[in-house]
């Protein structure tokens, strides 16, 4: 992964992120669930990006702070949020988080998997646990890894006046997936690299437990649909183990 750092994904995708990924989240259901968990308190988004969730969450009256390692993503956020309803912080959320106590911390759409080692993932969870209020929650949205997923693959999709090829290589030992989106257009070729280190839901629960967090709920979507063995994604809610057993997450 030489040359690939915490800011690499955002720097590669900032200019197309809102166009390419506008429909990956049910924004209304997501921000509704997060606002409910926030209970009037502050929220912190890990990997705030262009603000596609943070800005509408702030519009619901939640005080939102967003952290991101990519200057280009934060520039897009600033342009989309001229009133500065979201407090933006430039940092690698695997190593540092803004000071303060938050009622909800969240990482949407696989963002937590952008941390590329177990040590980074555990360190992030420990930082989050220290920032959560006693009644607070961490919410992670991620895909469920397929046991039959190929180790290598190429997918193509049309794009404006061209096409995008997504080339992937998976290492099942490290659980790293290395990818390259190759954009072909009349103006040339643009390479957009990405990396994730995936976890199964059980592995994520185990890592969270080591960080002092306990699972409070798991859904298959932001509307709270029951998670089961057929679910392709999960939204998992964690609470600090130091809190009372009377958690406030929805079942």
pLDDT of residue 147: 87
What does the pLDDT look like over 85-108, one tens digit per residue?
Answer: 999 999 999 999 999 999 999 999
pLDDT of residue 249: 44
pLDDT of residue 2: 64
pLDDT of residue 244: 52
Taking residue 41's Cβ as centre, other Cβ atoms within 10 Å add up to 15
Residues of the chain with pLDDT under 70: 1-2, 244-251
The count of C-alpha atoms lying within 13 angstroms of the C-alpha of 97, restricted to the half-sphere facing its C-beta, is: 24
- For the chain, give every domain's residue range: 8-145+199-240, 152-195
Cα 61 from Cα 38, distance rounded (Å): 10
DSSP line for 49-66: TT-TTHHHHHHTT-EEEE
Cα torsion angle, 136, 132, 231, 201, sign: negative
Domain 8-145+199-240, CATH: 3.40.50.150
Residue whose tokens read 């890894």: 145
| 3-state DSSP assignment of residue 170 | strand
Contact predicate 217/137, CB 8 Å = no
Comparing CA positions, the residue from 9, 200, 202 lying closest to residue 94 is: 9
């Amino acid at each position: 992964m030489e040359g690939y750092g915490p800011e690499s994904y955002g720097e590669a995708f900032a200019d197309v992120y809102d166009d390419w990924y506008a429909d990956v989240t049910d924004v209304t259901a997501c921000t509704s669930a997060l606002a409910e968990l926030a209970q009037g308190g502050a929220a912190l988004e890990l990997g705030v990006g262009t603000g596609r969730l943070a800005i509408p969450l702030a519009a619901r009256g939640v005080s939102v702070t967003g952290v991101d390692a990519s200057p280009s993503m934060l520039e897009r956020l600033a342009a989309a949020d001229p009133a500065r309803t979201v407090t933006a912080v430039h940092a690698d959320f695997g190593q540092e988080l803004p000071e303060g106590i938050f009622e909800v911390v969240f990482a949407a759409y696989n963002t937590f998997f952008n941390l590329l080692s177990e040590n980074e993932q555990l360190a992030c969870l420990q930082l989050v646990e220290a920032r959560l209020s006693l009644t607070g929650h961490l919410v992670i949205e991620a895909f469920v890894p397929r046991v039959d997923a190929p180790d290598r693959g190429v997918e193509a999709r049309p794009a404006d006046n061209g096409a995008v090829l997504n080339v992937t290589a998976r290492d099942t030992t490290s659980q790293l997936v290395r990818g390259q989106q190759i954009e072909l257009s009349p103006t040339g070729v643009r390479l957009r690299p990405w990396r994730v280190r995936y976890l199964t839901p059980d592995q994520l629960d185990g890592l969270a437990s080591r960080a002092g967090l306990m699972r409070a709920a798991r859904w298959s979507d932001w509307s709270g649909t029951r998670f089961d063995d057929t679910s392709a994604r999960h939204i998992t809610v964690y609470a600090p183990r130091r809190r009372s057993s009377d958690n406030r997450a929805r079942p």
